[in-house]
Amino acid sequence: MLDCLRRRRRRRIVFRSRHKGGGPGFGGLFLRTFWLCATRSVQTGLVWFTKILTDPFHDVKMYHMAPVWLLRGLWFDPMEHAQEPR
């Protein structure tokens, strides 16, 4: 009985050590930030870090209405904000 429990515990420990989660992603983010801070400037590294973290939110803000526009038949942006007044 005790031997069986030890095997189960060993399997769980192996499974947990294989599951990395977001570790490699965040590791790469921090390594790239430190690299930019060391080779360019601290400001460049921090700006890049902030851009990478906030980019998904910006994309959602820009494109959240896109499916509705497509269903309405608006395939192109009319760019009314860029047209000259007549």
Using one digit for the tens of pLDDT, what is the confidence trace for 17-75? 555 666 778 889 999 999 999 999 999 999 999 999 999 999 999 899 889 988 988 88
| Residue 79 confidence (pLDDT) | 79
Q: How far, in whole angstroms, is CA 69 from its chain's centroid?
A: 25
% of the chain surpassing 90 pLDDT: 42
What residues contact 53, with CB distance under 8 A and at least 6 apart?
none
pTM of the full predicted structure? 0.58
The SS3 of residue 79 is coil
Which residues, in sequence order, are CB contacts of 44 under 8 Å at separation 6+?
A: 36, 37
Residue boundaries of the structural domains of the chain? 2-76
* Model pLDDT, residue 41: 96
